[in-house]
A and B are shown apart, each in its own frame.
Chain A
């Protein structure tokens, strides 16, 4: 009865009106990958596969969405035309910001960074190419842009300056190759912090056009930092689980919980020294790295063999043995309080709502990568999402029953629609509201759906048996586990699995973190 979806083709094909005259006014977007040859030299096949994937998943749908058309793909870039300069610049911003998320999980030398130039000009449009000065200027703008940056011409700036929520930094008039007149160049800054950062380093006349909402968000970010993080000498208490110890916890197995040190201020300047070329995720100097960080409370487990899967749903078959290596996993899902530290450090773009001790929700898989990357940086530990096998191993608590507490549904065990009386349709309960499982873990089932590292596979045919995350080339969807407070009890089963688009946020999706031992 449950349907199964795979191999989804994305986006729309760009339909375009045929016109009488080939000449028309258009916004031209030119983009290329900085250091493409270097990337190809490091890993030819991998880079090629990633570039193709970005094109399919990100660039083509984004251009189509903004009513543009890709006229030409080059090996390391593309040329697109748009009717509207606003749409062209919006499209470029979406691409640049999405690339930040995609790069976040990778080591720096493997980052794919686009340089983008947008110009407005009267051009000659043919079905598979576009000609004219206007195109050349877009290409030159792209050529002088820094990796990860978006440069626009004065003509585009005049059209969009009052329409788009951005900062614009004037780089003055530039003489570019083979174009007689100098062209005025503006750098588009989607993030207000970047404007501040750009000012002293550039030493150029800066024209900053900031909308009220941007100022407000900067202010809010500063305030969040001030309220939640700037507590230099204050003891930062670990999260307190509310329920009393239960019989289950008391008779926990030899693999019982052993929590990691809850807080540790990180000193070393290296922690904050890493800079990123994309403005949106630059940590503000080393200041935030010196603050105490409320690390998630972790439970360490020795690992071992278990039977993964069940016969309750086609996606959970076949049942297969997996040998999980020792690792540590969050005792609770990541909370709003913990996430907000990452926001305050300017390393997480998503701003959550909800109480401090509520599990953070409405995060995409890509968002979680920003968090684990930031947490790893400030703690010098390799935080990551758990693999799907690790998650199920932990959720079962060494049981092969339908639920971790047995085969029958019991009230007061999990936060779901039909699990107990305390169901609130609008939001999840605070973390740790129910009994922990035999491994001492809370909320492994119900509450928020939890992202794991694995790409989605419709069943376990050919799944790895070593507990590692199952990745492959097309990762447009990732696995979610646990079911949410809005799902029925069948989703609370440790074997239950589902998936969701990697880059899309949904209100019931959260996560917990893990690291290998």
Chain B
């Protein structure tokens, strides 16, 4: 690599966007995330529509950096505490709604399950402070 390339590389590195990491996106003032349906302690039949409520912030697509907005994540039977500096995990217990969905048709095995919502920023990181709903417990008949 000759000196010209090194110089070019150096300039390029300097010009890299500063906003490369998305951690710590500020949450909206008085943001409130909650389940419109189902309510805590409810007995439901599977499948059911789960509806997400959000006050004082907006819902947008994952990847969109509009201030004061994010997208929903539904955590089912997750007991691990939320990692504020990691992207919200993606697996069979963490459902992502990056297309801006505000409801989902959920199918669960009979028995008790916990549900919790977490709002993610453009890059799926929790906001600061995290915008999370109460963790509710439902019984699937």
Q: Which of A2, A458, A476 has the most CB of B within 10 A?
A: A2
B29 interface hit (Cβ, 8 Å): no
- From A219, A224, A507, give the contact of B123 (CB < 8 A): A507
Residue of B nearest to A484 (CB): B90
**Bound Cα distance A449, B74 (Å):** 20
Chain A residues lying within 8 Å of B56, measured Cβ to Cβ, are none
The answer to whether B77 and A5 touch across the interface, beta carbons within 8 angstroms, is: no
A402 interface hit (Cβ, 8 Å): no
Residue of A nearest to B64 (CB): A65
Q: Kindly supply a per-residue 1/0 record for chain B positions 4-27, scoring 1 wherever the CB is within 8 Å of any chain A CB and 0 otherwise.
A: 010011011001110010000000
**Bound Cα distance A152, B95 (Å):** 39
B58 interface hit (Cβ, 8 Å): yes
Chain B interface residue count: which class?
Answer: 35 or more
**Bound Cα distance A298, B14 (Å):** 37
A374 interface hit (Cβ, 8 Å): no
The answer to whether A8 and B61 touch across the interface, beta carbons within 8 angstroms, is: no
A423 interface hit (Cβ, 8 Å): no
**Bound Cα distance A508, B96 (Å):** 13
Chain B residues lying within 8 Å of A219, measured Cβ to Cβ, are 11-12, 15
A353 interface hit (Cβ, 8 Å): yes
Chain B residues lying within 8 Å of A6, measured Cβ to Cβ, are 105, 107
- From B100, B102, B105, give the contact of A7 (CB < 8 A): B105
Q: Kindly supply a per-residue 1/0 record for chain B positions 47-81, scoring 1 wherever the CB is within 8 Å of any chain A CB and 0 otherwise.
A: 10000000000111111101001000010110000
A346 interface hit (Cβ, 8 Å): no
The answer to whether A3 and B92 touch across the interface, beta carbons within 8 angstroms, is: yes
- From A61, A216, A224, give the contact of B61 (CB < 8 A): A61
Task: Tell me how far the C-beta of A504 lies from the nearest C-beta in chain B, rounded to whole angstroms.
Answer: 3
The answer to whether A5 and B102 touch across the interface, beta carbons within 8 angstroms, is: no
The answer to whether B107 and A506 touch across the interface, beta carbons within 8 angstroms, is: no
The answer to whether B91 and A487 touch across the interface, beta carbons within 8 angstroms, is: yes
Task: Tell me how far the C-beta of A481 lies from the nearest C-beta in chain B, rounded to whole angstroms.
Answer: 13
Interface residues of A in 45-104 (CB under 8 A from B): 57, 61-62, 64-65, 94
The answer to whether B101 and A227 touch across the interface, beta carbons within 8 angstroms, is: no
- From A10, A61, A226, give the contact of B8 (CB < 8 A): A226
Closest 5 A/B residue pairs (Cβ)? A504-B98, A4-B107, A2-B92, A216-B15, A223-B12
Residues of A bordering B, CB below 8 Å = 1-12, 57, 61-62, 64-65, 94, 213, 216, 219-220, 223-224, 226-227, 313, 353, 425, 449, 458, 476, 484, 486-488, 491, 498, 500-501, 503-508
A-B contact pairs, 7 of them (CB 8 A): A1-B113, A2-B76, A3-B95, A6-B107, A8-B105, A10-B100, A486-B90
